[in-house]
Structure formats: C-alpha cells, structure tokens
Amino acid sequence: MTLEKKNQNDKLSSELDRSFDIKYDFSNKPIIRIKNTNSNNGKNELLNLLKNKIHSIKDCRLKSNAKNMVFADGDISSDIMIVGEGPGEKEDDSGKPFTGDAGKLLNKMLGAIKLNRNRIYISNVVNYRPPNNRKPELDEIYRYSVFLKEHISIIDPKILILMGSTAMESLFGNKIKISKERGKWKEIIIHNKTYLSIITFHPAYLLRQPEQKKFSWSDLKVIKKKIDELKIKI
C-alpha cells in the first residue's frame, strides 16, 4: 500500500468514525426503546423511497459492475434483522441476499436455533456486488452506511445480527476486531433510537474456515437465549 493510499484510508476511517454519531456499551441491562409504530404499508413506502435513493446513486464502482441491486429479503415486520457484507455472484443474478452457498449455510444456522428465514429480515451493507466478490473498500462502506442506518431505522428490529467484519465496521468503525467482539451484545444508537446488536462470523467466512463454526454455534446460542428473554415470536 502506498503512503498516499494509506493516508487516504486513515482519513476515511476518521470520517467514518465521526459520521456514526453512535454510543454503545457492553452491559446486559435492559434497553428502553421507543417502538416504531409504522404499519407494514408505511414501511413499504419508506423502503421503496430508500430503494430509489440507492438506485439513483452516481459514480459508484459497485453499481457500475453489478447486474442488479440486491436490497433485502424476508419479513419487514420481523423483530430480527440480519446484516451481511454484500452480494455475491448468485445474489447479483437473483437480486436477493444470501442465495448462494453462504445462504445455504445461513439457513442451516438459523434452523439450528429454530429460526425460520422467512420470518427474519435480511440485508447487506452494500447493495451491489463488489467486483470479483472482493471485500467492500472503506469509502464504499462509508458511503453505503448512510443507507444501512436508514434501513435499520425503518425495519426497527429488536435484535440486529451483524454478520462479518464489514457489517461490524459499517456501524462500529474499524477500530475493533471481530475475533474479540463477536458474541457480545452491544447497544447502538441510530437516528436517536437504541438497538440491541450482536456481531458474529459471516457464513462465507465459515465456509473458508470451518474450524470457526464452533464459535458461531456459541453465538447462535446467545442469540436464541436473548430471543427467548425478549419473548420474540419466531
């Protein structure tokens, strides 16, 4: 990496951290939240507006190389929202997140704790496939995090599951490591509302590093326990 590129990344990292305007801690104390009272019709309208914003984005390396926008999949009234990294080749073809091999593993992971994918809402940090399935770059994460935060605010989940380092970085910055922060509940404030989030490994990473599945299983059990505590219908 050249010195110029490093300085540019450091600047973007600082801007990303400042832009979040978030507070989070690691306590297990109950969260007091104001529940979004939007009806599903209201949510659909807001989601369509957000989709149009993303579709209208200009000068985007991701958009210019992708076939389709991959916006979201699942139940918009769900209390559980999953955020992944970005579309792969099969997702780019289908227009839906997690439809490839990582999606198949995700379905098995959810099923292991009695979760039905159709009852969950799923999206990604970036909505267009990165060239050659590369990790989104810092400026791309920074650009799309604005849309992601709006997306989360519309869905208003009780539990936010961040899968992979890109999802983690989009909301918490790149100063923390997924290996140290996975499996912990974090409170995050987005648009003046508090959300309960947890970080875990992305299924695509688990396909490459199957020995890490034991840690994801531990995280899944933590998630299931919280679902039961909050009495979320699944």
Chain segment 197-210, per-residue pLDDT in tens: 999 999 999 999 99
**CATH number assigned to the domain comprising residue 101:** 3.40.470.10
Residue 9 domain-assigned?
no
| Domain encompassing residue 175 | 37-230
Assigned domain for 27 exists? no
Collapsing DSSP to helix, strand or coil, 121 comes out as strand
For the chain, list residues with pLDDT below 50. Answer: 16, 19-35
* Structural domains in the chain (count): 1
Residue 72, domain member (yes or no): yes
Query: Cβ–Cβ contacts within 10 Å for residue 192, how many?
Result: 8
Alpha helices in 25-177 (DSSP H): 40-55, 61-65, 89-94, 101-112, 138-155, 165-172
Identify whether 12 is part of a domain: no
Note the pLDDT tens digit of each residue in 17-35.
Answer: 554 444 444 444 444 444 4
> 96 CB contacts (<8 Å, ≥6 apart)?
70, 73
Euclidean distance between CA atoms 41 and 135, whole angstroms: 34
Whether 3 maps to a domain, the answer reads no
CA distance 55 to 103: 24
Cross-strand bridge partners of residue 161: 82, 198
- pLDDT attached to residue 40: 87
Whether 118 is covered by a domain: the verdict is yes
Tell me, yes or no, whether 19 lies in a domain: no
Residue 164 lies in a domain: yes
At residue 185, the 3 state secondary structure works out as: strand
Q: Which two tokens stand for residue 52?
A: 């149009």
Q: What is the pLDDT of residue 26?
A: 43
